[in-house]
A and B are shown apart, each in its own frame.
Chain A
Amino acid sequence: MFNTLNIEYDSPAVDKSALSLIASVLVAGFLLAVTITIVLSDKGHNTGLAPLITQNIELSGVTNPVTAVLLNFRAYDTLLEIAVLLVVVLAILPTRDHHAPFFKRIVVSKKNLVLSALQRWIAPAVVVFAGYLLWAGAHQPGGAFQAGALLAGASVLMFQSDTYQVNYTSLMARVLLVLSLVVFITIGTALIYFEGSLLTYPLAFSGLLILLIETCATVSITLALASLYSSFIVSENTSVTDNKHRTIK
């Protein structure tokens, strides 16, 4: 028995993979135990903020509690979210020609009939439905993020054929990208002057202001998500964004 024992064993005393397995099992078990304990011990206390919101829903200008929280009670949360989205877009924004037009349509010789038919049927319906979601956000589930994501999905569908190209560094695109943040901050700071504190809407105009902010946010979110997708595409037709502009630093 001792003949096979390696006395001068100088490797680590414990197997690292076993150690990580034990650690992950311990952490997962601990989290599971804590969750079960919390759920079992929390009888009748898990009502959360719902009664508080339903009490104050008349003050918010909208009747959908989620929209009330996102754009009135915790509006600065949404403001910072939009700022984060803008930072993400700035990080991936291509270094391209900013004199080129915002939108360009390229005549493609080979045309995919199925794809173009799908675009013609689906895209207008999605645009209308996004507008409905934006409008319905005041009193039903819906809102700016959902509408923006839908519109971005429609633009992803339109990007599938190389017919349409958007230049995200043109002046128009940059204005639209920062539109929601500018409108949000302008309204917020203006309300400091009129109402006394940041993003405290006056009761008479709160619904209108929320709708205005949400509309601008929809435009910016759409463009941001579409630019995320466009940054991944390698297009064969690079006539809008000519490669020679990349070499100019």
Chain B
Amino acid sequence: MSLVMIFDALLIFSMFTLGWMSIFSLSLFRCIVFFVCLGLLAAIAWGRLGAFDVAIAEAAIGAGITGALLLAAWNRIRPHRTKAIELNVTNAKTSQKDTTEHV
């Protein structure tokens, strides 16, 4: 089992994991971030398959533009909290609030 095989296996495993996390994460923001990561890994996978055109397109459109679009849409639909709560969320102490909020 060569090093390349291990790399490919890791790539496949992490793609499945990120795909799962990008669907079933509680916070919508995390879903988007994981989706962007999935797009980058998909670009690497296309490169491993030798399709470099698709890899460039995937990295630019799939991860970059789609990620920006999803984040902008998330910014539109999220319930805008007040300043006080927003300051609380940025504290590390209350970061659990973010995960339980389903936003």
Contact = CB atoms under 8 A, between A and B. Distances in A.
Query: B interface, how many residues as a size bin?
Result: 10 to 19
A242 to B, nearest CB: 21
A150 B64 CA distance: 9
B53 A153 contact: no
A145 B73 CA distance: 23
Nearest to A221: B61
B17 interface: no
B53 A142 contact: yes
A141 interface: yes
Interface in A7-32: none
B24 interface: no
Interface in B46-98: 52-53, 55-57, 60-61, 64-65, 68-69, 72-73, 75-76
A10 B72 CA distance: 48
A143 B52 CA distance: 11
A229 B53 contact: no
A142 B56 contact: yes
A133 B55 CA distance: 13
B60 to A, nearest CB: 4
B62 to A, nearest CB: 9
A149 B53 contact: no
Given A141-B52, A156-B65, A225-B65, A146 B60 contact: yes
11 contacts: A133-B56, A149-B60, A149-B61, A153-B60, A156-B65, A229-B65, A229-B68, A229-B72, A232-B69, A232-B73, A232-B75
